Amino acid sequence: MRVLLVQAVSTHDCSEVVFPLGLAGLAAAIGREHEVQGLDLNLDPIPWPGLVRTLDAFRPDVVGISFRNLDPLAGHLISFVPHLKTLGILIRQYAPEATVVLGGSAFTLFARRLMEEVPEVDFAVSGEAETAFPLLLQNLQTPGAVPGVLWRTDGAREPGAASRSVEIGLQRRDQVRRGGVVCTPDNAQIVYCQDLDSLPLPDWRTFAPAYYQNRNRYVAFMGVETKRGCPNNCRYCLYPVLQGRRLRLRSPERIVDELETLQRDFGIRSVHFTDAVVNQPQEHLSDICKEILRRGLEIGWTGFFREDTLSEKELDLYSEAGLLTLYFSADGASDYTLKLLGKNLTLEQVLHAGKLAARSGILSVYHFLVNLPGETQGSVDQTYRLLDKLFSLHASRGNLGAVVINNLRLYPGTPLTEKILRDRLIDPGLDLLYPIYFNPPPWDNLRHELGAFCMSQGALSYLSAVDSE
């Protein structure tokens, strides 16, 4: 079969692009049994003409869509769901005989709902698709044999049936929303791949790294996984849902094989480790770094770090092995908010990590959420003091890259969102498929006020450094 893999729109301005690691891995998992082509809609600010040209030229039998992000976060009230709906309509219009399969992390969060919202989709995979999608290609007539698969039974797009027109699909939208999506009790759960080392390296021919080179100013475009899963109990986070709570580790040798190939064959100079927490477990990251050094591989890397497992000794090793940027996501900036978020961290641990980061000279970025439920003047004052200390720590080295301040994006199913709903702190009728942030008065401007504080501190530090030269 001819299989077209499409990365759905997941950026609102195409300025900072991310290599579609999931689809490149999926292309590799499909193998050479099928003819595979890739298309990333994020590489063109007006992606629809390119989509139509690809559909017309390739004439796919199956179109696999990765819906990675619901919205761009950072307080933006932009949703990528309309883009997904448009994508479905255009595929049905210009490739009416193609079977459409939907997946990706954003889809997994709202699996049934998105099947209802996009009636042009025939099948979907909930969870990690490297095993399920190739099996589905072999079982389009019997999708119940594949764990994690959802499909329609309302007759609008029966497996193997001739496609209906877009007009019929639109007429049936209300009916589809009332049902027509099923999955068996045995495969209703999210599917996880258990042996990550058994997966092939990503297919860098189907998705060529050259198209992503020299586009980003701030972040590494190429991602590399060292593990999946997150054992932490943060009360607002989706990683345990999307990847499970059990850590599934790739071997350091396999990871560095990937790094070596990226550098040798594609000239990649830096990557981002995509883990929820890159230094957990600590010894795993240490072993990766030692393998990088053993091979004499010179490649930069970044990742999100947990503050309480960072030590000066380990940080020296990370730096020697190519660490370029430390990303911290304590998210709570006061004793109260750290506890509310379930971070299992203290302000002392956050500051200690800041001291280590500042002394290391490595560029450091901090992320915090503000105006959380129960915020008080005391917690706000503590937040200002923490930020002031972080700027002071980094002042002499000039290695504070950014302090990112955001409000809490609410997702159904997370403990903190469920508590907010129970306590009726927001309207329970709000549709959380679309970007809803918790930001009530009286602290609804706190994000902006803290942003102004951070901007002024950064400007003063920069001007001080320039004056001293």
Cβ atoms of residues 227 and 309 within 8 Å: no
Cβ atoms of residues 288 and 322 within 8 Å: no
Determine the average pLDDT of the residues in 149-171: 51
Determine the average pLDDT of the residues in 225-235: 96
Model confidence at 164, in pLDDT bands (50, 70, 90)? very low
Burial category of 346 from C-beta neighbours within 10 Å (exposed 0-12, middle 13-18, buried 19 and up): middle
Burial category of 352 from C-beta neighbours within 10 Å (exposed 0-12, middle 13-18, buried 19 and up): middle
Look at residues 47, 209, 65, 206 and name the one whose alpha carbon lies nearest to residue 133: 65
Give how far Cα 170 sits from Cα of 119, 120, 434, Å.
8, 9, 21
The predicted model scores a pTM of: 0.91
Among 11-15, 48-52, 234-238, 263-267, which is the least confidently predicted range? 11-15
Cβ atoms of residues 196 and 13 within 8 Å: no
Model confidence at 160, in pLDDT bands (50, 70, 90)? very low
* Residue 170 scores a pLDDT above 50: no
More confident residue, 185 or 239: 239
Cβ atoms of residues 209 and 262 within 8 Å: yes
The whole-number pLDDT of residue 144 equals 85
DSSP secondary structure letters along 250-292: PPHHHHHHHHHHHHHHH---EEEE-SS-TTSSHHHHHHHHHHH
The whole-number pLDDT of residue 286 equals 98
H-helix segments, 321-414: 335-340, 347-360, 377-395
Model confidence at 467, in pLDDT bands (50, 70, 90)? low
The whole-number pLDDT of residue 153 equals 79
H-helix segments, 80-188: 81-94, 105-109, 111-117, 132-138, 166-171, 173-177
The whole-number pLDDT of residue 469 equals 59
* Residue 9 scores a pLDDT above 90: yes
Give how far Cα 27 sits from Cα of 50, 58, 97, 207, Å.
20, 16, 21, 9
The whole-number pLDDT of residue 58 equals 98
Determine the average pLDDT of the residues in 391-408: 94
* Residue 173 scores a pLDDT above 70: no
- What is the tens place of the pLDDT at every residue in 311-359? 999 999 999 999 999 999 999 999 999 999 999 999 999 999 999 999 9
Domain spans of the chain, in order of start: 2-187, 218-467
The whole-number pLDDT of residue 458 equals 85
Sequence-ordered list of residues with C-beta below 8 angstroms from that of 228, at least 6 positions apart, any chain: 128, 192, 193, 196, 243, 244, 247, 248, 275
Which residues, listed in sequence order, are joined to residue 223 by a DSSP beta bridge? 272
Three-state DSSP state, 249: strand
Q: Which helix (H) or strand (E) holds 329?
A: strand 323-331
Q: At what angle do helices 282-294 and 312-320 cross, to 10 degrees?
A: 30
Count of CB atoms within 10 A of residue 432's CB? Answer: 19
Look at residues 233, 404, 387, 230 and name the one whose alpha carbon lies nearest to residue 325: 404
Q: What is the mean pLDDT of the chain?
A: 91
- What is the tens place of the pLDDT at every residue in 200-222? 999 999 999 999 998 888 889 99
Cβ atoms of residues 364 and 357 within 8 Å: yes
Cα distance between residue 199 and residue 291, in whole Å:
20
* Residue 1 scores a pLDDT above 70: yes
Model confidence at 75, in pLDDT bands (50, 70, 90)? confident
Q: What is the dotted CATH code of the domain comprising 218-467?
A: 3.80.30.20
Please identify, in words, the CATH class of the domain defined by 2-187. alpha beta
Determine the average pLDDT of the residues in 438-450: 97
Cβ atoms of residues 203 and 27 within 8 Å: yes
